[in-house]
Amino acid sequence: MKRLFKSVGKPLAIAGLAAAMGLSASIAQAMEIKISHQWKANVDGRDRAARIFVKEVEKADPSIKFRIYPAQSLGIKPVAQLDALQNGTLEMAIFPMSYAVGKAKEFSAVILPGTIPNLDFAMGLKKTGYYTKLQALAEKNGFRIITWWWTPGGFATKDKPVAGPDSVAGQKLRAADPTFESMLKTAGASVTAMASSEIYSGLQSGVLTGTLTSAETFVSMRLYEQTKHATVGGDSALWMLLQPLVMSKQAWDKLSDKQKKAFEAAAEKSDAFFLTLQREATDKMAEAYKKAGGTAREMSKAEFDAWVALAKKTAYPEYAKISPTAKGLMDELTKAAAKK
């Protein structure tokens, strides 16, 4: 009987040890991912789309948990998020890609004036060489583009509405990228670089008399309280920016193939949701300005064409000269436009 007890106990002990080891492995594989951004929780479309992404990933893989830190609540400034992604102290962020130009000037490809005329064109770029080259540039700089969130935007100023290039002379503007800044300076404006979260105080203090930014930001950050005249919408967008959910390359490389597929599937769901929001964003911006007692106008085709003509003399050639990578991205945009 004693020998029988021993022979039964050994397999039980081994099974218990295996179960314990399996539990330990499960705990080891569980991960928590921080997502940082600068906008208001449950108000701004970027935050809302991030929550769709999180819900989908957690449903596909319960071992992955996320914590979203809106409104800079993680203590990382918007531009500095890239440093945190590169060194691996931050896993994910909603990151306006033009903020990366301090690391690589080629990232201006995501905002070149007038090159992304509408949302359908922007979404179609994911199937082109532009996406492939941009993703390679991102990974070379320590992060991966996860979602494909494009935001249309426009101008708003304190004293008079913006029309063609001659209408910005004497204005103090924020534009979000050096290519836009070059074009605006040539038109007679002065420019100040700052993150979206700083625009309100910049307008309030008089550092700015106007700004370019996304329609989403104009509404969620209540910039209509500090400006009166909006120029937004029309047949073609002069200002369009990629502001995706991105991931540290270090964190991305730690995911299994199955987890990467879950992230990609969740990104598609969030992309569709975000696109729906952005189709309405410029109209909501115009409504917000009118409701606040301001004005809202669409940019005419003649005005848009005048801005693009100026960009062709300033922003475009300056950008193409940066590097072969920049020229390659510009060529891909031109190729995609020709197929439109």
The closest alpha carbon to 60, from 258, 198, 255, 312, belongs to 258
**Domain coordinates of the chain in residue numbers?**
32-338
CA distance 189 to 183: 9
Q: What is the pTM of this model?
A: 0.91
Q: Outline where the chain has alpha helix (H).
A: 2-29, 45-60, 81-87, 119-124, 129-140, 178-186, 199-205, 215-220, 249-254, 257-291, 301-313, 315-320, 324-338
Written as tens digits, the pLDDT of the chain (340 aa) is 444 334 444 444 444 444 444 443 443 357 899 999 999 999 999 999 999 999 999 999 999 999 999 999 999 999 999 999 999 999 999 999 999 999 999 999 999 999 999 999 999 999 999 999 999 999 999 999 999 999 999 999 999 999 999 999 999 999 999 999 999 999 999 999 999 999 999 999 999 999 999 999 999 999 999 999 999 999 999 999 999 999 999 999 999 999 999 999 999 999 999 999 999 999 999 999 999 999 999 999 999 999 999 999 999 999 999 999 999 999 999 999 998 7
Q: How many CB atoms lie within 10 A of CB 24?
A: 10
CA distance 214 to 153: 4
Per-residue pLDDT, 29: 58
The closest alpha carbon to 151, from 72, 94, 202, belongs to 94
CA distance 245 to 128: 20
CA torsion through residues 18, 19, 24, 26, sign: positive
* Pairing state between β 150-157 and 92-94: unpaired
Kind and range of the H or E element at 9?
Answer: helix 2-29
Q: Three-class SS of residue 267? A: helix
CATH code matching the domain that covers 32-338, chosen among 3.30.70.20, 3.30.110.30, 3.30.565.10, 3.40.190.170: 3.40.190.170
Strand partners, 144: 247
Per-residue pLDDT, 16: 47
CA torsion through residues 307, 313, 317, 318, sign: negative
Q: How many CB atoms lie within 10 A of CB 267?
A: 22
CA distance 241 to 35: 20
Q: Three-class SS of residue 154? A: strand
Q: Three-class SS of residue 94? A: strand
Contacts of 26 (CB under 8 A, 6+ apart): 63
Q: Which two tokens stand for residue 302?
A: 């003649």
Phi-psi region of 326 (alpha: psi -120 to 50; beta: other; left: phi over 0): alpha
> ∠ CA(295), CA(285), CA(330), 5° rounding?
110
* Pairing state between β 240-242 and 150-157: antiparallel
Location of structure tokens 């950050």: 221
Per-residue pLDDT, 15: 45
What are the backbone dihedrals phi and psi of residue 212, each rounded to the nearest 5 degrees, phi first? -110, 135
DSSP state letter for 165: G
